[in-house]
A and B are shown apart, each in its own frame.
Chain A
Amino acid sequence: MASIDIESVGKVYTGDVRAVTDINLTIQDGEFIVLVGPSGCGKSTLLRMLAGLETISEGNVKIGPRVVNQVEPADRDIAMVFQNYALYPHMTVRQNLEYGLKNRKTPKAEIDTRVAEAARMLEITQYLDRKPRALSGGQRQRVAMGRAIVRKPSVFLFDEPLSNLDAKLRVSMRGEIKRLQRRLGTTSIYVTHDQLEAMTLADRLVVLNGGKIEQVGSPLEVYHTPASTFVASFIGSPAMNLVKAECQGDKLTIGSAVLSLNGYMPTSGPVTVGLRAEDLHVVSGDEGMQFAVDYVEELGSQRLVHGLVGDQSITIALAGESEIPATMRIGIDPARLHFFAAEDGKRITTADRTAAAIDVPSPVPVG
């Protein structure tokens, strides 16, 4: 068990290629942190720096009270689960699990107990004498986790561990990882590009973009108050609609439609407005905005309707059974609008509005 302090950490490769810039993050003991971002955002590099597989160019990493910048991976008291599992193909499952313990001169009896325990926990006891090639993807994944667990490290590092599995298995393994982490209470850092995985696993999400932290927060915080247009478009599925609009007093102009903000005045002049697909709903009469339907994606429980408001594309989520005319009018509760500065995409917040938005975390699809 250990807390982790990441202090102004950066990574520069030879030739002045910068992968990670000024990361500051304090991770509590026992916390499940998910680093999420598109490919090339530096999340894996950051994880590998924590593991000791990449040198730390700038700043300090502390695991517990100790600065580990110069410490060998083996001595950092961490265990890592790799994307391709990295099981030793010439060893049986048992030998794979034992390898790390043997290298540390753990007594034989202790090794046997720990391997048996981990195998039972992961339900791989009957495969202990098989080679990895005789296992399915999900079983290999379990063995990779077992290899991390038997060591009883103070930190687990996961590098996209589920991305080689099929969709169904991924969902069930996701649940297992979460349960396991709760049960062991080990500080965990998990890297993924899948926002759904990030949302479901994390105690706290760290959204990375271009080597920098874009936002840190609990999944719901990040979902309901994205700090920038990048986070807004990355977290949540379908992605939040971002449209150009104009603010004048408490009136918001989107294309030809004018919405009243009921006295709320976030800014004046051009602004980027974020609208969650599930917050938009069909309205009658001449309220709201004119919406020209382009095409529909059927998800069974929902229909995602893609179309245009003015010349800006918007997606709305409607109930599975709803009628879809070629054009309709759509509206949104003004309290559920997100405002971002037009120039840098940062969220425009005022204290009362932030609070209001978090208070209503009911992601019920609106029909």
Chain B
Amino acid sequence: MGPVFGPVLIGIVMQTKRTVFQARLLPYALLAPQLIITLIFFVWPALQAVRQSFMREDPFGLSEKFVWFQNYTRLIGDASYLNSLSVTFVFAAGVTAVSMTVSLLFAVCVNRAIKSGRFYTTMLVWPYALAPAASGLLWWFMFNPSVGLIPYVLNMVGYDWNHRLHEGDAMILIIIAASWKQISYNFLFFVAGLQSVPHSLTEAAAIDGAGPVKRFWTVVFPLLSPTAFFLAVINITYAMFDTLPIIDAVTTGGPSQSTNILVYKVYADGFIGLSLGPSAAQSVVLMLIVVLLTVVQFRWVERKVQY
């Protein structure tokens, strides 16, 4: 996951003032710390992954063999990989939809609260500070079929919750757990977006005969759309790559591979299954997906943002 967020972060801090240095070496010296970190921790492992994806290696790392694209071609025919692909798709779509809808709702509510807005904002940001594994554990406890509170309540209303057996339950659980963590992040962006919509616009719309709901969908939301689009890309990226600790803590990919998303499969195949070559090939595919998302992000956000 190292190389994943690099380009996105650079994009956010990109708009800084331009300074001209007279000395030839000074700029390189100033850039060096960041470059060294990037090279050692991001670029080198990425290149290693690419190299390894063309190799077949024994589990003990004693011998390796160059096998061209075999690791990739095998992926295409691998039923468990294709399953993982569709699971990832459902999961990413679910997390993005749930976390964005809920956070937008919260942001609209907080934006209407005049005095208590700051308090709610502070409260709503807390989940973001929690480590993913900790939050995963939290949800694991709450939904634990043996000791959890929520299955107990669900059982009373006649629903037999068991995410260790039911594939649907497992998917719902990881979507909730992963969304919960991302809501804070989305919320902050939506609040900022809402606050930048001038009051006079909604007032003008009120005079123009639009009710509160219509005002929101025809005036406010279109102005939020650059924010929403940015968040959609960020959320998809998050769901696909940053949710590994949550999956690991809650379902470990099961039951019967139903929550085995791509990034978890990379980890499981590579570090648990020790099948290094195919795992590397999978991670290269993931890397390409991130590159694609980042390109989409830059192209669109930069074009849409200029009102």
Residues of A within 8 A of B (CB): 51-53, 72-74, 78-80, 82-84, 86, 88-90, 99-100, 103-104, 133, 147, 151
Contact = CB atoms under 8 A, between A and B. Distances in A.
B206 interface: yes
Contacts of A100: 207-209
A78 B208 CA distance: 9
17 contacts: A52-B207, A53-B206, A73-B203, A74-B206, A78-B207, A80-B203, A86-B198, A86-B200, A88-B205, A89-B307, A90-B225, A99-B205, A99-B208, A100-B207, A104-B209, A133-B306, A147-B208
Nearest to B203: A53
A99 B200 CA distance: 15
B214 A88 contact: no
Interface string B204-234: 1111111000100011001101000000000
Nearest to B201: A86
Nearest to B222: A90
A52 to B, nearest CB: 8
A51 B208 CA distance: 11
Contacts of A74: 206-210
A84 B200 contact: yes
B203 A82 contact: yes
A51 B207 CA distance: 8
Contacts, number: 59
B229 to A, nearest CB: 13
Contacts of B222: 90
The 4 closest A-B pairs by CB, nearest first: A100-B208, A103-B209, A86-B200, A74-B209
Contacts of A82: 200, 203-204
Nearest to B221: A90
Given A53-B207, A100-B207, A103-B209, 18 more contacts: A51-B203, A51-B207, A53-B203, A73-B203, A73-B207, A80-B203, A84-B198, A84-B200, A86-B200, A86-B203, A86-B204, A89-B223, A90-B225, A99-B205, A99-B218, A133-B306, A133-B307, A147-B204
Nearest to A79: B207
A79 B206 CA distance: 10
B207 A103 contact: no
Nearest to A148: B207
A47 B222 CA distance: 29
Contacts of B209: 74, 100, 103-104
A88 B219 contact: yes
Contacts of B307: 89-90, 133
Interface centre among A74, A84, A86 (most CB of B within 10 A): A86
Given A82-B200, A84-B200, A89-B307, A103 B208 contact: yes
B9 to A, nearest CB: 29
Interface centre among B208, B218, B306 (most CB of A within 10 A): B208
Nearest to A103: B209
Contacts of A52: 206-207
A103 B223 contact: no
B214 A103 contact: yes
A27 B218 CA distance: 35
Q: Which of B200, B219, B222, B225 neighbours the largest number of chain A CB atoms within 10 Å of its CB?
A: B200
A53 B203 CA distance: 7
Contacts of A147: 204, 208
A353 to B, nearest CB: 46
A111 to B, nearest CB: 13
A118 to B, nearest CB: 14
B281 to A, nearest CB: 44
A167 B198 CA distance: 25
Nearest to A85: B200
A90 B226 CA distance: 11
Contacts of B206: 52-53, 72-74
